[in-house]
């Protein structure tokens, strides 16, 4: 187990992907997802993150869980803010082309994980698992509650990730965190909305 930041990112059209898939030919849906996965992946990798997996329209990424990284939280937060920027830019281009914007929700949490080969014989994946991964996913899901009408992008970061940052001053004045209960945790979590 290593200290790390886990990120769960969901990139979908304003309509649910299943709705969009019914309205678009399958290849167009795949092309749209691949385009956005490429945008997000470039931001993740530019900040030394590792894409763990794609699950439908979600991306799971880690910073410092696979290799030692003292400033994993700084890299994760910077990557999340960069993803928000590039998705907003891409949405402006989509709007100019008459296309619906893509909605992005990012949840980040830092803590210990287990890194290794997980699975059954014949189907093993090198991955990360643990409570930290689950909390990051819960933060991504909380984005639905925090996102206001007309917003396309949200970045929610846990208090543990903010505390793990070596240089939190790069964020300027932090917003006041909200305390929220997340599934699987007894104590409420501090939730910082950075975007």
List of domains in the chain: 2-193 (3.30.70.1230)
Query: Does residue 67 carry a pLDDT above 80?
Result: no
Strands 102-120 and 153-158: parallel
pLDDT digits (tens, 9 = 90+) for 144-160: 999 999 899 999 999 99
Q: What is the DSSP letter of 181?
A: -
State residue 107's pLDDT score.
94
State residue 108's pLDDT score.
95
Q: What percent of the chain has pLDDT over 90?
A: 58
H helical segments located in 24-71: 26-46
pLDDT digits (tens, 9 = 90+) for 82-130: 999 999 999 999 999 998 888 899 999 998 888 888 999 999 988 888 8
Report d(CA 176, CA 174) in Å as an integer: 6
Query: Does residue 25 carry a pLDDT above 60?
Result: yes
Give the global pTM: 0.89
């Amino acid at each position: 187990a290593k200290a790390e930041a886990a990120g769960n990112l969901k990139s979908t059209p304003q309509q649910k992907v299943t709705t969009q898939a019914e309205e678009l030919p399958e290849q167009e849906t795949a092309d749209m997802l691949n385009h956005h996965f490429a945008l997000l992946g470039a931001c993740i990798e530019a900040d030394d993150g590792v894409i763990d997996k794609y699950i439908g329209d979600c991306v799971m990424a880690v910073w410092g869980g696979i290799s030692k990284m003292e400033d994993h939280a700084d890299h994760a937060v910077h990557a999340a803010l960069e993803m928000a920027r590039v998705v907003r830019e891409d949405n402006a281009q989509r709007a100019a082309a008459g296309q619906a914007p893509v909605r992005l929700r990012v949840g980040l949490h830092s803590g210990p994980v287990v890194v290794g080969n997980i699975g059954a014989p014949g189907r093993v994946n090198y991955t990360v698992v643990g409570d930290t991964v689950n909390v990051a996913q819960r933060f991504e899901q909380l984005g639905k509650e925090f996102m206001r009408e007309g917003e396309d992008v949200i970045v929610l970061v846990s208090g543990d990730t903010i505390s793990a940052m070596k240089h939190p001053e790069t964020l300027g004045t932090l917003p006041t965190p909200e305390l929220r209960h997340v599934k699987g945790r007894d104590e409420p979590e501090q939730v910082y909305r950075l975007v």
